[in-house]
Chain A
Amino acid sequence: MDLSSNLMGIPLKNPLILSSGPMSRSGEMMIKALDAGAAAVVTETILNEIRPNVRPRMFNRGQGLQNIRLYSEFSLEEWEREIAMVKERGGILIANILAHSPSEMAFLGRTVESYGADALELGVSSPHGEGLAVLGSDPENLYELVKTVAQSVNIPVMVKLSPYVNNLAALAKAAQLGGAKGISAINTVRSIMGVDIDQMVPLLPTYGGYSGEPIRPIGLGAVATICQTVDLSVSGIGGISKFNHLLEYLMLGADSCQLQSALIFHGFSVISEILSELESWLEDKNFSSLEQIRGKALSRLKSFDEIILEPKIAVNKRDCPLPDCTLCTDSCTFSALSKNQKGLVDIDSSVCTGCGLCVSICPRLCFDMQ
């Protein structure tokens, strides 16, 4: 099976990349990801000035993950060795860097290039105190930054964007205009995980980055927008833990995907699981390469005006096997569904407006639209 992909002109054996985060904090960790099958790795964010990590800094209780520190604790000097380890292993390494002015970013880029990095990812959209508001959400600033960096290095530059903006398309264009060869999206989403209501304190002491399963729809939306805006190598990020998630990103136009949170929760073996399930799925569907599925769903994404109005309503596809389940009747905002004495669902076709919620909410797929 041909899983080969491409990252800004760098050939990849498959589309899976370890994204920037705690799991890529060292050469040793990145090599583990490569051993598990990752086609490339992105370093944890490398800075000129490191600051010690706060404790605690990560939180999960079901749902997604909040992290309030996302930068490397290794100095720039120490990264020379960590990067060399990955390069000696033959790995493709993308250095994620963050600085606060174009010239500083260019300096960091040149330095990690001299250490052997194959590409740069500009971490301009970190949800923390620094970055997002000034660097990662202003197209003019972003253009200047990307241009300065792209002109000072000989390796391809990609820009990591956040969905926490209202001008994603303009930012993607600015990055392209500045000379970026790729865009990765999305960065973690600025968040507060919750409040301890007894103590009346936030669960973590400052705003953090939210990642994992819950942000996948946000990531898919952002990637589709970027792919519809620019013709660059796009790396999809956000909530990927299964092969079908990866396929969703690819079908919406991504060339590669990055993952992190799933590996934090379940270990590097997730990578090999995704890859083997991806191969099986492609084989089952008689596809021979990823090129056959790339962007296929993107081309079917419509504007609101283009959606044809059809008088569809919900119909029973099969009898409900769960007499006590009331998911569909409770959530039918038009009160078109009711359970009869046999525990089966009656649909009042004169009331149903065809919203479709019952079709997706039913765990046993009992509904269809006609």
Chain B
Amino acid sequence: MRALRLAVRQRAARIALAVLGVVVLLMITGEWLAPYDPLHQDTTAILAGPSAEHWLGTDYVGRDVLSRLLAGSRLSVIAAAEAVGLGLLLGVLPGLASVYVGRVFEWLSLRVMDGLMALPFIIFAIAVAALLGNGLHQAMFAVGVLMAPSFYRVTRAAAIGLRQAQYVEAATLFGATRWRVVRTHVWQKVLPTVVVTTATAMAGALLVVSSLTFLGIGVQPPAPTWGGMLASDLGYLTQRPFGPVAPALLIIVTVAALNALADAMTVDPATTQEAPDALRR
């Protein structure tokens, strides 16, 4: 994780990591931190504004918004992580294999990835939900499959460049097996690129998960998610004009932190090593 180590030297990355740390903390402890049962309805106090009892007010059936936001962190982040994990698996391995296995696999995998890239996220997710049932795992399966081409492309691009590297050729000449070459010489160089892509993809996945739950695909009610809360709050802008602010802010801040981290990691390590202060404006 040299890229991450180097990135940490930058202030933006440190702030991003701190924000993500808080998000992870919320993910783990959100349910316990919630002041109320996030599913408890109080129909005598619907769409209430912020108060000492309900810091962020109540929603359309009188549930405490703060509790739902805290409790919803886990599901929102896990869903995004699930999609990214599947994308990694389906993208990185074929990406490496396309360079080292052979022309037939290369041609086939390229065509499959081209086909997947042509599919729009939302439509594909709806189709998958129609086929496999409307649930979180089904929706994340769809998102993960469509994320695979991003990982495939960046992995393949990095691996192709390394195939002709002198030390790789030297290792081959010394009799290293293809597996050893990939594991020892290629993977370590590809990894930083994959990590950066993962951070960006995670941000994208959070947005897609939010969009899908916004559209009613994925999470089953009444489980809270950030996207679902944003969608429901938009329907009651007259009564709670500030309603969408809290879930939207959480989504924005988390996505921004992931993007900032990814940006920091893409900075050339050499430059960072030589002039780290120059980047700390």
Q: Do A and B come from one complex?
A: no
A interface residues with partner B (beta carbon < 8 Å): none
